[in-house]
């Protein structure tokens, strides 16, 4: 077990009881390789890079809200899609999602983010440094960094 594991456990407990909905884990290596104890089997995992389908990621986000599930978002690359950032900002600041052109008829979907659902974003510091959104770090409640 790594020395990072106790910090992750504390982070997960804080996120579970915190009224915020988003947490950030900053890792040294590939975000996909990080094991989150007690969460891996229960969270919906989305890997997001420059080639990823943002609409598919938004659809997963909406499904997590509807099902009351936790979501793990592994970030890689140097871009962070504005549509996804806007939804995370809405969740962080207002506790809801409002997305257009995601439903079957391209309708607008508005959902209150459930208290039991959380989003854990996992990224390297290099990825975070490349994101061109100055307020990106303001989205998150608990933050833990791998040493």
Question: pLDDT tens track of the chain, all 147 residues?
Answer: 456 778 888 888 888 876 678 999 999 988 888 887 666 567 899 999 888 888 899 989 999 999 989 999 999 877 788 888 999 999 999 899 887 655 556 677 788 999 888 999 999 999 999 888 888 999 998 999 987
Q: Supply the range of the domain harboring residue 44.
A: 5-145
Domain count, the chain: 1
37 in Cβ contact with 10 (< 8 Å): no
**How much is the pLDDT for 1?**
44
Question: Using CB atoms within 10 A of its CB, is residue 122 exposed (0-12), middle (13-18) or buried (19+)?
Answer: buried
Q: Taking Cα atoms as reference points, which of 43, 46, 124, 31 lies closest to residue 81?
A: 46
Question: Using CB atoms within 10 A of its CB, is residue 50 exposed (0-12), middle (13-18) or buried (19+)?
Answer: exposed
How many Å from the N-terminal Cα to the C-terminal Cα in the chain? 14
88 in Cβ contact with 23 (< 8 Å): no
What is the distance, to the nearest Å, from the Cα of residue 18 to the centroid of all Cα atoms in its chain? 15
**How much is the pLDDT for 108?**
77
Provide the β-strand partners of residue 70: none
74 in Cβ contact with 120 (< 8 Å): no
- The whole model's pTM is what? 0.87
Q: What is the CATH number of the domain that holds 116?
A: 3.40.50.300
Tokens of 58: 């938004």
Tokens of 44: 């919906």
């Amino acid at each position: 077990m790594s020395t990072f594991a106790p910090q992750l456990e504390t982070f997960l407990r804080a996120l579970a009881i915190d009224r915020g909905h988003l947490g950030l884990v900053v890792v040294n290596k590939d975000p996909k390789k990080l094991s989150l104890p007690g969460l891996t089997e229960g969270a919906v995992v989305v890997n997001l890079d420059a080639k990823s389908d943002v609409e598919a990621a938004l659809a997963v986000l909406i499904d997590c809200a509807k099902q009351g599930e936790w979501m793990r978002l592994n970030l890689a690359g140097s871009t962070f899609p504005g549509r996804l950032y806007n939804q995370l900002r809405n969740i962080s600041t207002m506790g809801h999602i409002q997305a257009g052109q995601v439903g079957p008829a391209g309708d607008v979907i508005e959902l209150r983010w459930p208290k039991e659902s959380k989003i854990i974003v996992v990224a390297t510091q290099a990825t975070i440094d490349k994101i061109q959104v100055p307020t990106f770090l303001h989205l998150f409640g608990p933050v833990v960094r791998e040493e």
